[in-house]
Amino acid sequence: MQYVTNNVPNNHWITTGIKISCWHKKLLYIMSKTTKCSKIRVHCTQYCIVLWKVIRKAKEMYYNELLSSSTNKSKMSWNIINNEIGTASNKKYIQTEFKLGNKYVSTKQAATIFNIYFINYVDELIFFFIL
């Protein structure tokens, strides 16, 4: 049995351009590792530095916008801090579905099937003991 998680990233600051640049950076990294050309390696490191600066600026702009539009700035700043360090919520993960072979089954559907099975099983046991 395999558990399936719904990993929805909470990074609203990531734009389409940043996604494309990350994809391009990955290709450059693979090229720099497979070739011996020093120009490609230098270009890859420079590209990584520029992309890192762009990502930091995008985060800064996104969080500044959140803070400026917020009515409770101290609470919003603590939410941002907790989100960045990874302790944004103390909610426990609740399983939504799991994988059996090639089939995905939701927990509600599985619970219903188990309930129907065990209700029928208990009814058969009661009937058996009555006779």
For residue range 65-77, list pLDDT tens digits in order: 999 999 999 999 9
What would you report as the CA-atom Rg of the chain, rounded to the nearest whole angstrom? 26
What is the residue extent of each domain of the chain?
2-94, 95-131
- CB contact burial 41-65 (16+ within 10 A = b; e otherwise): beebeebeeebeeebeebeeebbee
Per-residue pLDDT, averaged over 2-11, amounts to: 56
pLDDT attached to residue 80: 86
Sign of the CA dihedral 51, 56, 59, 60? negative
How does pLDDT run across 27-54, given as a tens digit for each residue? Answer: 999 999 998 889 999 999 999 999 999 9
Q: Among the residues of 1-131, which ranges form H helices?
A: 16-34, 38-69, 73-85, 107-130
Q: Which residue reads 């619970």 in tokens?
A: 111
Q: Given a cut of 90, is residue 97 above it in pLDDT?
A: no
Q: Given a cut of 80, is residue 16 above it in pLDDT?
A: yes
